Every structure is written in C-alpha cells, then in structure tokens.
Amino acid sequence: MRQRARPLLQEEIALAETQQLIVWMHETMRDAPGVGLAAPQVGLPLQLAVIEDRPEYSKDITSDRLAERERQAVPFQVLINPRIVEHSEEQVEFFEGCLSLGGFSALVKRSRLVAVEYWDERGQARRIEAQGWYARILQHEIDHLNGKLYIDKMEPRSFMSIDNLSRHWKDVPIRSVRQALGIDETE
C-alpha cells in the first residue's frame, strides 16, 4: 500500500485474470460498501481502480450537505493507469474515510476539479472531467495507486471514529467543524 503500483500493459487488460479481478473488486467494493477500491488495497500492486457512488449511499445525507459536497451518483467505472492531468487550485475540505483504515475519518483538502486520463476495462483511452465529490473519489483512488493514504493529507486534529463523526458532526458545515475543533482557518 505504500509503494507506487505498476502500470498495466495494454495486452494485460484483456486477460481473463484481469477481467476477473475487475469483477471481484467491484463486488468487494459494493460489499464493503465503499465508493472506490484500488488494486493495492487487495494486495495487488497494479494501477487499477474501480469507483461507483450509488444513489443509496447518499440517501441519508441532507440536501444542504449534498450540495455543499457537490455529490451526485457516479456509475461504475474501471480506471487503468489513471493520471491526473489537470486540477484546480481551488481546494475543498470534507471528511474522508477509507476501506483500508476502516472505522475512521478525517478532514482532507482536495482539488475541487480534476481531469483524469486512463484506460477503461477494454483498454480504450478515456478522459474524465470531474468536480466535487466525484473529483475527491478519483483523487483518493489515484493516491492509493501512488502509495498514499488519506491520512497523509488529513487535518490531524479532525481524525476520529466513524461513530463519533456520525454522532456529532455528520450534518455540521465544515467551517463549524473546524471552529469547534480549534483548527485555524488559515491552515
């Protein structure tokens, strides 16, 4: 998990093993449930990630928080050898968790907008331009492929259990969370 994963070769994508890995990762991500899963998280150092943000994952989030996060459903996608080719200077901060560090969350600043180039599960070149929560998911998964975890970018004072987050902070605006935790706005 802490080393850069190796890129897949074009001819490796069509292999039965790679296609089965994609199916297995999709099932594993849904079972967790999560919105993304990178091959290094399942012990394979490959530049391969899957993402999907299903509508039911945000059904209990208030409309104000959904708007604040710019969160909408994202259909299932396979990203092979993805790379961020553009990103906004503007950053937004929200709580993030990770299947590899289950049960915890912290505030993480990320670019609000990104453009990502990658190959899909058929080896076709693709480009995504994403904003808000979708951009956050992409950056989080690409970090995994580069040996990084959200805890490398988190606001340390905000690290907490999911239970604590759900009990006290889930419907609180980020600015209010920062103030309550004594985090300087200039940080």
* Alpha carbons 100 and 104: distance in angstroms, whole number: 10
Domains and CATH numbers, the chain: 10-92+112-153 (3.90.45.10)
**Any catalytic annotation for residue 93?**
no
pLDDT in tens, 43-101: 999 999 999 999 999 998 889 889 999 999 999 999 999 999 999 999 999 999 999 99
pTM of the model: 0.95
Q: For residue range 113-156, what is the model confidence (pLDDT) as tens digits? A: 999 999 999 999 999 999 999 999 999 999 999 999 999 999 99
Residues 57-93: b if buried by 16+ CB within 10 A, e if exposed: ebeeeeeebeebbbbeebeebbbbbbebeebeeeebb
Which residues lie across from 128 on neighbouring strands? 116
Catalytic choice (52, 93, 96, 141): 141
